Every structure is written in C-alpha cells, then in structure tokens.
A = this chain, B = another copy of it.
Amino acid sequence: MHMDFSFSYYIGLAGIMVFAISGAIAALEHKEHHHDVFSVFFTGFITAIGGGTLRDITLGNYPVSWVKDENILWAIFLGFLLVIFFPKLLTKLRNELFLFDTLGIGIYTVLGTRIALDHGVNFFASALLGMISAIFGGVIRDTLMNEVPFIFRKEIYATACLAGAILYLILNSFSTNGNMNLVVSASVVVLIRIVAVRYNLGLPKIKIF
C-alpha cells in the first residue's frame, strides 16, 4: 500500500508512539527488568513494530514498514522520551493514552487488512492479518516480559479488531469509498473497545474442564 501523508498516516504514527509508550511503561513496571534506558527503549520498540512486522513478513510485503519509513522510528523515540521525561504527565493522561491506543489499534487493524487485500489475500486471512497487525506487538511485549499475553487474559480487545477488520472487508466489497470504509471500520473497533471497557464486557467463556 502506498503510504501517503494523510490523516490515517499521522494517526498511525500516533498509534505507533502509544504502542511504544505502553511497551516502555511495561518494562518500567516489571520487577526483573533492568530499567536502564536501552532496555526500556527496546521494549517500546518491539511493542510498537511487532505487529506490523509480523504482518509484513507473513505477506512478503517488503520492505517492512519501519525499515522503509524512518518516521516510525522517530515516533517510537518520541514516545520513549515522553516516558523518560514526563512520567507523571503520562500517569495523569492514562485515559487519553487509552484513547490513543484504541485509535491506534483501530487504524492499524484497517490498514493491515487493506495491505493484506492489496496482496490478494482471502477474506478471513485478511481479517486475521489486520487483527494481528494491531495486537501482536502487545503479544510479543508480554511474552518477553514472561507473562501470558494480555489478549488471552483481558476483556474484549483482539475481538474488537477482528470485528472491525471483517466490517471493513464487507464495506469494501460494496463500496469503493476507501476513506469512508476506513473511518467507519476503525470507529467500530474504537467503539466496541470503549463500550467493552466501560461496561466490563467480555465474550462468553467456555468451561469444559
């Protein structure tokens, strides 16, 4: 996909930055972590680029995003600096960060699904790759922190991405208004996520053991 300097591009960069912040904070909150500047930066970096990189190498979509576009690295570095110099501000802005993270996964889901479609990928694989773009940085972050990934422990998160990806694919098959489809689908991800957190909603659980 041609990455133009559009609205979605800048929201995507903001999402990357927030992913990096969440990774850096996870490093700082972790007991076994060394908490030095490198390990904090690198945890943020992996969290931020993990999902998109996995999508790109699964698709053979070269060069992968952060290798092609240096702005992604600067967004990550900016997030890292914010964590180091304004930790108290970030603590106060927890709600705003949540909103950015949610916007980030919304945009990332739809952009990832779009990139998969552009590679001629089938319907459900495109939806899964869109979701993976959005969530897998967090999965890798948690795995490196030696924890069961939060997507397996918490309320609706990945499912919101999957729903948004599927909606985008359906809209896309009816309409050629790409920007409208993108905004609507990403908004649905954001909406589902916010409603799920606000009302503490979860998917039905399976109990067989």
State A124–B76 Cα separation when bound (angstroms): 12
Copies of the chain in the assembly: 3
Most chain B CB inside 10 Å of its own CB: which residue of A36, A40, A129, A151? A36
A35's nearest neighbour on chain B, judged by CB, is B205
Chain A interface helix/strand/loop/mixed: helix
State A32–B147 Cα separation when bound (angstroms): 10
Contact A42 B144 (CB under 8 A): no
| A–B Cβ pairs within 8 angstroms, 18 of them | A30-B148, A32-B148, A35-B205, A36-B206, A39-B151, A39-B152, A40-B206, A43-B152, A53-B58, A57-B58, A59-B62, A67-B125, A70-B125, A73-B124, A73-B128, A83-B206, A84-B208, A143-B144
Closest 10 CB pairs of A and B: A87-B208, A60-B62, A36-B203, A39-B152, A32-B148, A70-B122, A38-B159, A35-B205, A67-B125, A146-B148
